[in-house]
Amino acid sequence: MSPESVASRQTLDARYEESVRVVSFEVGDQRYALDVASVVGIAPSSCEERPAAWGPLLFGVRLFRNERAPVVSLRERFGLKDAGTETPTNRVLFVEIDDSIFGLRVDVLHATQRVLRREIEPIPPRLFSESAAYARGAIRTDGRLTLLIDADRLLSGDEKARLAHSIAREDSSQGRVAPRPSTTARGIAPA
């Protein structure tokens, strides 16, 4: 390899270290993004019916890689009015949080892109809302301000435990075998 090729490769490697790959999506009128490293899959948003006792945060349950995963309504999480109807653009992003898989229901899914870490800005005060509590910064994508969501902040430890317990309790009452622990690989993959 020539010295020029080595220098070029080192520059490219440094650029990748200084960037993060995100998948962007919309919930309501706001655009959001998640680090692709936390996303393990994407699927249409159709879910099993959820018992009313589970509360509004849980949109439903979806089978993901032979496991039943709770699907959280990001509209509810972000304090937005429920749209009430399924549309062809609704999707579920499956994320791994504390070794458990959770689905996040979004209204519209956009593309993945690479963002330089230096382009991540503090959240502007005008965007402070319920959803800003789950963000780690803001980025500009396609000329719009996008909140970069931290998946680990979306659910409290108590909420994660309650969701997992509710599904396990329902599985037990329905005679389903408890799912085995998740062994999913990182990266976006279909459900």
pTM of the model: 0.77
User: In the sheet that 91-97 helps form, which strands lie side by side, from edge to edge?
Assistant: 39-44, 91-97, 100-106, 67-73, 58-64
b/e 22-35 (16+ beta carbons within 10 angstroms → b): bbbbbbbebbbbbb
Domain assignment present for 180: no
- For the stretch 62-72, pLDDT in tens is 888 888 888 88
How many domains does the chain contain in total?
1
Domain assignment present for 40: yes
Domain assignment present for 155: yes
Beta bridge partners of 44: 91
For residue 137, the enclosing domain spans 19-173
pLDDT of res. 57: 80
Domain assignment present for 90: yes
Domain assignment present for 26: yes
Domain assignment present for 69: yes
pLDDT of 180 strictly over 80: no
pLDDT of res. 10: 47
Domain assignment present for 10: no
- For the stretch 8-56, pLDDT in tens is 544 544 555 689 999 999 998 889 999 999 999 998 877 766 656 667 7
Domain assignment present for 3: no
Q: Give the span between the Cα atoms of 134 and 151, in whole angstroms.
A: 8
User: In this structure, what CATH number is given to the domain that contains residue 67?
Assistant: 2.40.50.180
Are 113 and 24 in contact by the 8 Å Cβ rule? The answer is yes
